Amino acid sequence: MYAIVRTGGKQYQVTAGDRLKVEKLEGEVGATVELADVLLVVDGENVRIGRPLVEGAKVSATIIEQGRHKKIIVFKKKRRKGYQVKRGHRQLYTALNIDAISA
Protein backbone atom coordinates (compact mmCIF):
# COMPACT_ATOMS: atom_id res chain seq x y z
CA MET A 1 0.00 0.00 0.00
CA TYR A 2 1.28 3.45 -0.88
CA ALA A 3 -0.03 6.99 -1.14
CA ILE A 4 0.84 10.27 -2.83
CA VAL A 5 0.75 13.16 -0.34
CA ARG A 6 1.20 16.90 -0.80
CA THR A 7 3.05 19.00 1.76
CA GLY A 8 5.17 22.10 1.46
CA GLY A 9 4.17 22.60 -2.17
CA LYS A 10 5.69 19.24 -3.20
CA GLN A 11 4.32 15.74 -3.71
CA TYR A 12 5.81 12.59 -2.19
CA GLN A 13 5.11 8.88 -2.67
CA VAL A 14 5.07 7.24 0.77
CA THR A 15 4.59 3.78 2.24
CA ALA A 16 4.45 2.72 5.87
CA GLY A 17 7.95 2.73 7.37
CA ASP A 18 9.41 5.31 4.96
CA ARG A 19 11.61 8.16 6.16
CA LEU A 20 11.59 11.42 4.22
CA LYS A 21 12.59 15.05 4.57
CA VAL A 22 9.85 17.60 3.87
CA GLU A 23 9.62 21.37 4.17
CA LYS A 24 9.49 22.57 7.78
CA LEU A 25 6.43 21.50 9.78
CA GLU A 26 5.57 22.80 13.24
CA GLY A 27 6.04 20.33 16.07
CA GLU A 28 8.55 18.84 18.46
CA VAL A 29 10.66 15.74 17.87
CA GLY A 30 8.56 12.70 18.75
CA ALA A 31 5.23 14.41 18.00
CA THR A 32 2.71 12.82 15.65
CA VAL A 33 1.67 14.69 12.50
CA GLU A 34 -1.25 13.90 10.20
CA LEU A 35 -0.89 14.68 6.51
CA ALA A 36 -4.44 15.22 5.25
CA ASP A 37 -3.60 16.27 1.66
CA VAL A 38 -3.70 12.75 0.18
CA LEU A 39 -3.94 12.81 -3.61
CA LEU A 40 -3.87 9.06 -4.36
CA VAL A 41 -4.07 5.79 -2.42
CA VAL A 42 -3.10 2.42 -3.93
CA ASP A 43 -3.93 -0.77 -2.02
CA GLY A 44 -3.11 -3.75 -4.22
CA GLU A 45 -5.61 -3.66 -7.10
CA ASN A 46 -7.72 -0.94 -5.45
CA VAL A 47 -6.71 2.55 -6.65
CA ARG A 48 -8.42 5.65 -5.24
CA ILE A 49 -7.69 8.92 -7.05
CA GLY A 50 -8.70 12.18 -5.42
CA ARG A 51 -10.42 15.08 -7.14
CA PRO A 52 -8.33 16.84 -5.84
CA LEU A 53 -8.11 14.97 -2.50
CA VAL A 54 -9.11 11.46 -1.45
CA GLU A 55 -12.01 11.72 1.02
CA GLY A 56 -11.24 10.38 4.50
CA ALA A 57 -7.66 9.38 3.70
CA LYS A 58 -4.88 10.38 6.10
CA VAL A 59 -1.21 9.59 6.52
CA SER A 60 0.13 9.63 10.07
CA ALA A 61 3.82 10.29 10.66
CA THR A 62 6.20 10.89 13.55
CA ILE A 63 8.69 13.76 13.58
CA ILE A 64 12.18 12.31 14.01
CA GLU A 65 14.27 15.43 13.33
CA GLN A 66 14.04 19.19 12.84
CA GLY A 67 17.07 20.50 10.99
CA ARG A 68 18.67 22.50 8.21
CA HIS A 69 19.99 21.29 4.86
CA LYS A 70 23.55 21.88 3.65
CA LYS A 71 24.36 25.46 2.71
CA ILE A 72 23.97 26.50 -0.90
CA ILE A 73 25.81 29.50 -2.31
CA VAL A 74 23.92 32.13 -4.31
CA PHE A 75 26.34 34.23 -6.38
CA LYS A 76 25.27 37.11 -8.61
CA LYS A 77 27.58 39.11 -10.87
CA LYS A 78 27.25 41.69 -13.62
CA ARG A 79 30.25 41.88 -15.89
CA ARG A 80 32.23 45.11 -16.23
CA LYS A 81 30.14 46.87 -13.56
CA GLY A 82 31.92 45.84 -10.37
CA TYR A 83 28.70 44.27 -9.02
CA GLN A 84 28.85 40.97 -7.25
CA VAL A 85 26.88 39.53 -4.34
CA LYS A 86 27.57 36.27 -2.52
CA ARG A 87 24.91 34.87 -0.20
CA GLY A 88 24.36 31.56 1.50
CA HIS A 89 21.09 29.81 2.33
CA ARG A 90 20.18 26.84 4.51
CA GLN A 91 16.63 25.54 4.06
CA LEU A 92 14.76 24.25 7.12
CA TYR A 93 13.37 20.71 6.97
CA THR A 94 11.45 18.20 9.03
CA ALA A 95 12.38 14.50 8.86
CA LEU A 96 9.33 12.23 9.12
CA ASN A 97 8.85 8.54 9.73
CA ILE A 98 5.63 7.36 8.06
CA ASP A 99 3.65 5.24 10.55
CA ALA A 100 0.39 4.37 8.80
CA ILE A 101 -1.80 5.11 5.80
CA SER A 102 -5.54 5.09 6.48
CA ALA A 103 -7.82 5.13 3.48
Share the mean pLDDT of the chain.
97
Amino acid in the structure at residue 51: R
The widest CA-to-CA distance across the chain, in whole angstroms, is 62
Q: Is the pLDDT of residue 24 over 90?
A: yes
Cβ neighbours of residue 85 under 8 Å, at least 6 residues apart? 74, 75, 76, 77
Q: pLDDT value at position 99?
A: 97
Is the entire prediction scored with pTM above 0.95? Answer: no
Q: pLDDT value at position 103?
A: 82
pLDDT tens for 59-90 read 999 999 999 999 999 999 999 999 999 999 99
Q: CB neighbours (10 Å) of residue 43? A: 12
pLDDT tens for 35-52 read 999 999 999 999 999 999
- Omega within 30 of 0 (cis) for the link into 52: yes
Return the H-helix or E-strand segment holding 43: strand 38-43
